[in-house]
Chain A
Amino acid sequence: MVPPFGSRATRETSRETMARARARASLMPDLLVEARRVANNVFAGWHGRRKRGVGEDFWQFRPYVTGENLAAIDWRRSARDDHLYVRDREWQAAHMVWLWVDESPSMLFKSSLATVSKQSRALVLAFAMAELLARSGERLGWLGVSKPIVSRHAADKLAEALLAAPVQTEIPDGSTVRNFSEVILFSDFLQPVEDTVSKLKEIAQRGARGHLVQLVDPVEDEFPYSGRVEFSDPETGQKLTAGNARALRENYETLFSDHSRHLRSIAESLGWSYTLHHTNRLASDALISLHMYLMHTRRGAA
């Protein structure tokens, strides 16, 4: 008898995935979170934002405008000619980013077509993001687990906090999320869509911008079963028998893609980003698109 496609993987701890996440993160360029929306954020980061603002490094001289603070005038420069100059500094700012990984039983699913379980991949992605963001000096937190941390080693600290914390199976309410923060949620989003939507809206109402990463095992997408198959749900234990699984394939594919499309439309209506990631693809794929979403100023959303 050929073994079934799907199997239940053991839960991976944050410690195991850290190493792999580091490897991923080392491949990425320094992450510069788009800081347009954090104008009032006072926490200083280490990396310049390539525009003038609060910071330590010199950015430019510009002519003094009447009404400006006189203390801002750079007298040394102004003494060279007849104009007054103000020394601008490069704006350096940190940003608050919340991470969260779904660890429900369905996330432990791994098929023979995939290399890792969804949970493993999600943790790798989350820690890789944490590593990148910590490198850029952002403030990081794990929803429902830890408070915001600003540290070069924020990713390690998050991992330790996660070890101690209970298993995360539901999207947290986001009571700690505040305005102008970024929330990155890693899940397969197989819970009833209504529950997911209400949770997401709650977080969105707190003024945070979200990024949804839906992890999909290739088996869930392609439905390669044929013949007589008994399917069981890892969450509820419910069982269903299909007499001719192959005949269901097309309809199932339609339904599943509808599900993903629905999620995407919700994310777009909230102004959030949505990334679909298959566990048989490289983790870097998702990382790059997340990176892109965090970097880019969205056109028209001033």
Chain B
Amino acid sequence: MIEVRGLSKSFDQVEVLQDINATFKKGRVNQIIGKSGSGKSVLAKCIVGLIRPTQGEVVYDGESFQAMDKERKKLLRQEIGMLFQSSALFDSLTVLENVLFPLRMFATQSEHEMRERADFCLKRVNIVGQDAKYPAELSGGMQKRVGIARAIAMQPKYLFVDEPNSGLDPQTSIVIDNLIREITEEFDTTTIVITHDMNSLMGIADEVFFIHNKRLWWQGSRDELARSDNQELQDFIFAGSLMRQVRKALRGE
């Protein structure tokens, strides 16, 4: 479980996030949604410690990240897996080397055991026979899947996913979404997904956190979304005509 307590962030006197309080539950897909530029990626970066919040703290299973010393932070980060919007695979390493990378840096297993683990992770995301290829030789969807394989290589307790469907076709997006869902259940991770893809939201979200006007404007389960009277949330979720049809169907109109 990850708790965010009173988190605020400003850049050069410009406030981006204001007093965010949220609890991201274990074994659940927690989705942070909001317009482009609303600060959801900044929130994610504050949670993983890439950006230092101006105020507030992030608590990982009862332990404040801000209060940890450097070594403890390093150890905690070995329990974090992250899939970046751009996949962020190391382009001078092959697919297999990318997945082996965190294992070679931190694992105490033999090379054979590490190789077995990497093979397992690649098979888990349905990447077979691509070991020797470089990231640039893969499609966007395959890069995302390799990114997921790398993120789960160290058996993380916390999984962060930034815009998993950006640049992907609808079918591939569903594959990636389902993979995130399955991995969350299988490895019992605290999963936080940053997205503005409504299909993904409706498909895999357990808990939804809507960032608007620098604040956590609304939070609740996916089922509560359609029933919510929050105007800003409704305007955001059901902006498209297709989603308006979905709302009608959900409300039985």
Same complex? no
Chain B interface residues (CB < 8 Å from chain A)? none
